[in-house]
């Protein structure tokens, strides 16, 4: 406030030279930040915009949202499937990105998967932008549902959903995306994820129809107090269905008439083989194929080694297990076991394209890899 205007303009020019090419809407962000802290600092009205922007810049800093880890991807069909040939599918890839302070956010990449399982990701944009609240709360950080939207000039591949609420303030973890077909035949995309406050966890639901506007909704019920919930892509027997892990060890099947209220459940798969004796869970939503519901699983064995397996559930009665892998489908190898969290391969959702399964998976919480497998060969192994 004590700076003369010439010094103020020179300092702001230096900030713009240093950071203007690294971000979109730098001046807008600085002015928004000024508006947030004006009352807290008791600043008077009538300041020039240059002084406001410089004050805002003093209360901002860059955040590298994926500087610590990038992992736990899920994959789903993109809302726009126009212009594709040869059985190719346009996809949305979600990822858990971890930055300074171990804060997790949701990042996206768009791409195309061919019928043969080849992956072609769109180039990563030069800069990323956090989605912003549709209607920002008048004071503080909201506690309940949030509507978030991306800026018009931001591509989905450069959009990051950063924590909004107190329950999320230390992270949005492990989004499991699924394209859900309702009774009206119209698709909607749901994504279950873990909200982490720094001391407590809770399951929440992301809802979107276009990947431009997102609703972030808390879930209720005893099962929603745990991690690793994954929604079926349609109703089963007239009810919503979910795979969960209420006890942190086994795989459970749940039904509900309310998309956001989950309790009870039936245990359907428990650790049996050496590579999964410590813990089991799902690797994303069940995938409907001709033979039933294909559910990718994760298993934890000795030395906290994570592997990916699969089970086959009956299509009409998903509590009935038709088949199960006795050995892992994917496990850490000597070439990819080192990283932020070693000896881990993990996925939050795969995609069936024809009779081929495409699986994105995190490698040691440090990178993301892809593989594809014939569904005919996989089902033969299961049954």
pLDDT value, residue 70: 95
Do residues 227 and 342 share a domain? yes
Residues with Cβ < 8 Å from 286, sequence gap 6 or more? 230, 232, 233, 243, 293, 294, 295, 313, 318
354 half-sphere exposure, CB direction, 13 A CA radius: 13
Range of the domain at 54: 5-58
How many angstroms separate the CA atoms of 313 and 30, rounded? Answer: 53
Q: How many CB atoms lie within 10 A of CB 1?
A: 9
| Predicted pLDDT of residue 249 | 92
Task: Note whether 277 and 157 are same-domain residues.
Answer: yes
Domain identity same for 180 and 248? yes
150 Cβ contact list (under 8 Å, min separation 6): 129, 131, 132, 156, 159, 212
DSSP 186: -
Q: Which residue has the higher pLDDT, 254 or 333?
A: 254
Report percent pLDDT > 90 for the chain: 84
Q: Strand pairing partners for 149?
A: 132, 213
pTM (2 d.p.): 0.93
- Which of 38, 58, 78 delimits the end of a domain? 58
Number of separate domains in the chain: 2
The residue whose two tokens read 């869970």 is 281
By C-alpha distance, which of 269, 271, 267, 242 is closest to 255? 242
Provide the pLDDT for residue 23: 86
Is 54 part of any domain? yes
Neighbours of 75 (CB within 10 A): 24
Residues 118, 25 share a domain: no
The C-alpha atoms of residue 112 and residue 107 are separated, in whole angstroms, by 17
What is the rounded radius of gyration, in angstroms, for the C-alpha atoms of the chain?
A: 23
Q: Which of 16, 37, 58 is the last residue of a domain?
A: 58
Confidence at 140, pLDDT banded by 50, 70, 90: low
Give me the pLDDT at residue 314, please.
98
Q: Is residue 63 part of a domain?
A: no
Give the Cα separation of 24 and 27 in Å (integer).
Answer: 9
Q: Which range has the worst mean pLDDT, 20-34, 85-99, 107-121, 295-309?
A: 20-34
Asked if the structure places residue 180 within a domain, the reply is yes
Task: Let me know if residue 64 belongs to a domain.
Answer: no
The secondary structure of 81-108 as a DSSP string is -TT--TT-EEEEEEEEEE-GGG-EEEEE
Q: Are residues 303 and 219 in the same domain?
A: yes
Residues 135-140, mean pLDDT to the nearest whole number: 64
Question: Rounded to whole angstroms, how far apart are CA atoms 265 and 241?
Answer: 10
137: pLDDT strictly greater than 80: no
For residues 280 and 328, state if they share a domain: yes
Residue 185 has a pLDDT of 86
279-282/104-113 β-pairing: unpaired
Strand 187-196 vs strand 129-130: parallel, antiparallel, or unpaired?
unpaired
CATH of the domain at 318: 2.115.10.20
Does 172 lie in the same domain as 29? no
Q: What is the pLDDT of residues 57-84, one digit of tens each?
A: 999 999 999 999 999 999 999 999 999 9
Residue 219, H or E segment: none
Residue 136 above 90 pLDDT?
no
Higher pLDDT, 185 or 217: 217
pLDDT of residue 24: 83
Contacts of 35 (CB under 8 A, 6+ apart): 56
DSSP 323: E
Q: Would residue 129 count as lying in a domain?
A: yes
Quote the CA–CA distance of 31 and 36 in Å, as a whole number: 9
Residue 149: inside a domain, yes or no? yes
97 shares a domain with 13: no
Lowest mean pLDDT among 32-41, 54-63, 131-140, 166-175: 131-140
Reply yes or no on whether the pLDDT at 138 is more than 60.
no
The predicted pLDDT at position 184 comes to 87
Q: Are residues 290 and 142 in the same domain?
A: yes
């Amino acid at each position: 406030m004590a700076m003369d205007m010439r010094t103020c303009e020179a300092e702001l020019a230096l900030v713009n030279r240093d950071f203007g090419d690294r971000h979109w809407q730098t001046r807008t962000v600085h002015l928004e930040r000024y508006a947030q802290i004006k009352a807290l600092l008791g600043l008077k009205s009538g300041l020039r915009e240059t002084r406001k922007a410089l004050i805002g810049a003093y209360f901002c800093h860059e955040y590298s949202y994926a500087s610590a880890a990038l992992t736990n991807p899920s994959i789903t069909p993109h809302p726009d499937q126009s212009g594709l040939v040869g059985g190719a599918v346009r996809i949305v890839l979600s990822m858990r990105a971890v930055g300074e302070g171990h804060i997790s956010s949701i990042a996206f990449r768009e791409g195309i998967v061919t019928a043969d399982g080849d992956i072609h990701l769109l180039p990563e944009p030069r800069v990323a932008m956090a989605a912003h609240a549709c209607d920002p709360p008048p004071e503080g950080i909201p506690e309940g549902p949030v509507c978030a939207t991306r800026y018009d000039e931001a591509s989905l591949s450069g959009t990051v959903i950063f924590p909004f609420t107190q329950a999320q303030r230390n992270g949005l973890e492990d989004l499991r995306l699924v394209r859900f077909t309702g009774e009206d035949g119209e698709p909607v995309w749901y994504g279950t994820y873990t909200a982490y406050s720094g001391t407590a966890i809770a399951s929440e639901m992301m809802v979107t129809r276009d990947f431009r506007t997102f609703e972030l909704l808390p879930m209720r019920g005893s099962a929603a107090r745990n991690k690793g919930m994954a929604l079926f892509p349609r109703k089963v027997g007239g009810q919503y269905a979910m795979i969960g892990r209420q006890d942190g060890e086994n795989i459970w099947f749940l039904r509900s008439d309310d998309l956001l209220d989950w309790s009870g459940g039936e245990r359907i798969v428990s650790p049996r083989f050496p590579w999964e004796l410590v813990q089991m869970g799902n690797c994303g939503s069940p995938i409907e194929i001709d033979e039933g519901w294909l559910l990718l699983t994760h298993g934890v064995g000795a030395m906290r080694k994570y592997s990916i397996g699969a089970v086959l559930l009956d299509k009409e009665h998903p509590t009935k297990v038709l088949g199960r892998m006795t050995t892992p489908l994917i496990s850490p190898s000597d070439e990819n076991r080192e990283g932020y969290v070693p000896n881990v391969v993990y996925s939050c959702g795969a995609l069936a394209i024809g009779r081929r399964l495409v699986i994105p998976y995190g490698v040691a919480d440090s990178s993301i890899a892809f593989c594809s497998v014939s569904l005919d060969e996989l089902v033969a192994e299961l049954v």
